[in-house]
Amino acid sequence: MTATQAHTLWTGFHWAFFINVQGLIICLRRFEAQLALGNLDQAQIELKTATELLVASGASMELAGSFSRQEYEHEVRQTMTPPKVQANNFSGLMSWEHAALMQVWKRLRLTFENLPPSLHGQHQEFVQAYLSLAKAHRAVCDKFGGSEGGSLRFEGGCAVDTLDRFSESRRALIDPH
């Protein structure tokens, strides 16, 4: 695979990931609105769609890393450091999508804690889809050396350990039980 191909895979599937996250934000806001109106059938549809978007996000993450570690280190990683980007600690955490999703998840925490019984099954599928996404993200990070050192954002420590902590805190927001 050429450097251009690896970088194209990385950026293309990250864009797909962010598009899926944008859809997830919309679905969760619609889920919240439908619950407030007492429309449980429609709320279930929105939560099911949000689940499917999480699954698609996980697939995008896996595909974003479908090239060698050597290609990542020599061609992709350097595109995420100065002078290619302005930040010294470039990360997806910096995206507006991440911030918006975390706001929605924080707002929905009590909602998820007090869901009507008819939504419990779909909610558990939603949580499992998130855990699958987190596992995919961790696997890509690990493949590219995240078990051996820090990330672009957190140079010290172990990047996969950091991802594990983030994953657990986010899981606690959507699965407060």
Kindly report, residue by residue over 47-71, the tens digit of the pLDDT.
999 999 999 999 999 999 999 999 9
Evaluate if residue 153 carries a pLDDT over 80. no
Higher-scoring residue by pLDDT: 96, 152: 96
3-state secondary structure of 45: helix
The Cα angle at residue 42 between residues 37 and 46, in degrees rounded to 5: 110
Give the residue ranges of DSSP H helices in 38-119.
40-64, 69-71, 96-113
- Mean pLDDT, rounded, for 113-140: 97
pLDDT at 152: 58
Evaluate if residue 164 carries a pLDDT over 60. yes
The Cα angle at residue 138 between residues 136 and 142, in degrees rounded to 5: 120
State which amino acid sits at residue 105.
Answer: W
Tokens of 171: 């899981």
* Residue 110: closest CA among 168, 39, 57, 36: 36
Do 38 and 108 meet the contact criterion of CB atoms below 8 Å apart? Answer: no
pTM of the complete model beyond 0.85:
yes
State which amino acid sits at residue 157.
Answer: G
pLDDT band for position 127 (cuts 50, 70, 90)? very high
* Residue 9: closest CA among 158, 140, 155: 140
Spatial separation of the C-alpha atoms in residues 71 and 56, rounded to whole Å: 24
pLDDT at 67: 95
